[in-house]
Amino acid sequence: MSRVIGIAGRQGNCQEHKNILDSLGFKNKIVIDGKDIKGLTHLILPGGESTTQEMLWRKTGLWQEIKKFDNPVLGTCAGAIHIAKIKKNSITCTRNAFGNQKESFYKEMNFFFQDEKKTLKAMFIRAPKINISNIEKVKILSSFTLKGNEEEHIAVMKLGERHWLSSCHPEAVGDDTLHKAFLKS
């Protein structure tokens, strides 16, 4: 089946996701209205301001369609916050959990997918923290620790078969590892 990926717009770093999808040769479009979601095989919820995005998506009907969407969804940063809100029985997200912009950071991490180990490079920008309340359906693909602290934090995870959450931005450094894995699903 040919893939058509929607990027929920317009507020956020839609263009960086678009650049990755264009470079991989996947058909994609930025979607604004609820009706634009028809025919999409995949959906990406980009980073941005989650309060702004939700407000706009509710007005355009996109939010209601995102909740109903039954194909794979990837949320990065603010996008992960939205997925956590929709799947609140299994996961929650704490906004700006690692501090303000001065505390934003870059990481290179292991990325495990389909028995392969790869490197994922990504920015964490005013990043949220993903907390798991129901471990059953969760698969952690990439994690990290911070200097001087052993606590393991989630960078990328899958919830069930369809929901992908990333607290970081590989698209911001042009890394397509996560997007390639997501588009195999």
Partner 1 sequence: MSRYELNIGLARQLCGGVIMDVVNSDQAKIAENSGACAVMALERVPADIRSNGGVARMSDPKLIEEIRESVTIPVMAKCRIGHIAEARMLESIGVDFIDESEVLTPADEEFHLPKHKIEVPTVCGARNLGEALRRIDEGAALLRTKGEAGTGNVVEAVRHMRLIKSELKNLLSEKNISSAAKEHRVSEDLIKRIIKNNGLTVPNFAAGGIATPADASLMMTLGAEAVFVGSGIFKSENPPLVAKAIVDSVNHWNDAAKLVDISRGLGEPMKGLDIHLLKQEERLQERGV
- List residues binding partner 1 (CB under 8 A): 9-16, 32, 47-49, 51-52, 55-56, 59-60, 77-78, 95-96, 100-102, 104-106, 123, 125-126, 169, 172-173
Cα 143 from chain centroid? 14
Is 82 among the catalytic positions?
A: no
Residue with Cβ nearer partner 1 (7 or 138): 7
How far apart are CB 66 and partner 1 at their closest, in Å? 15
C-alpha closest to that of 72 among 136, 165, 146, 147: 165
Does the active-site annotation cover 77?
Answer: yes
Contact 155, 121 (CB under 8 A): no
Cβ 87 to partner 1 shortest distance, Å: 21
Question: Which residue in the list 163, 168, 171, 179 is annotated as catalytic?
Answer: 171
Determine contact, residues 127/146, Cβ cutoff 8 Å: no
- For the question of residue 103 being annotated catalytic, the response is no
**At 61, phi and psi to the nearest 5?**
85, 0
Which residues are designated catalytic? 77, 169, 171
